[in-house]
Amino acid sequence: MKIAKKPNKIPKKVIVIAIGLLILGGAGAFGLYQSQRANKIASSANSPIRESNSVDYTPPSQDQQQKQEDTKTDVIKQNDTTPPTDSSISVTLSRANQGGKGLPLNVRTIITGTNNGTCTVTLTKTGQPTVTKTFPIIVQATYSTCQQSDIAASDFSVDGDWALSVIASNSSSTSKAATGSVTISK
């Protein structure tokens, strides 16, 4: 005769204790992880080297404050609204082009020696009427320029190459002409 063995059952009490220990172990591991993470963040905050694209919120040092004041003074001197009496006005033609057929001619200049006055843009072509436009001089961050110096394509009598001349002047001085050539497509 065979004796039937009862299957080995694990008591409920042991299962509850094992689950409880797993939960406590997981909570302890999570707490340790957070603690180490907080220590790593705190130690990196005290590090003198910053990651790129990060912001340093500490107050500026005396050296940084002095450099900032020097830069500020230089910018103010460059943008002084009274033109220097011992220097002349200078015009540089930085760009003169037409973005496409029928679009306005875009003339861009860099003007030094004055922060006010006017720019006179003159375009000539043999046998054609001269195109002359005057624009106010405006101050940019580090230089002056002719404001909105765009000339409509309809102002030109014919297509082709035109000679360009830009002169800047204020109440006491006039620059030498900056010259170039542009191709107009009506």
What is the per-residue pLDDT across 22-43, written as a single tens digit (0 to 9) for each? 999 999 888 888 888 777 666 6
Does domain 90-184 match CATH 2.60.40.10?
Answer: yes
* Cα–Cα distance, 93 to 109 (Å, whole number): 5
| Amino acid found at 31 | G
Looking at the chain, the whole-number percentage of residues with pLDDT higher than 90 is 36
Cβ 94 vs Cβ 107: under 8 Å: no
Query: What's the pLDDT at 67?
Result: 86
Nearest Cα residue to 98 out of 2, 157, 184, 4: 184
Torsion sign over Cα 63, 69, 72, 74: negative
Q: What is the pLDDT of residues 130-151, one digit of tens each?
A: 999 999 999 988 889 998 889 9
- pTM (two decimals): 0.52
Q: What is the pLDDT of residues 167-177, one digit of tens each?
A: 999 888 888 89
Q: Which two tokens stand for residue 173?
A: 């001085």
Query: What's the pLDDT at 75?
Result: 80
* Cα–Cα distance, 28 to 138 (Å, whole number): 67
Please give the biggest Cα pair distance in the chain. 131
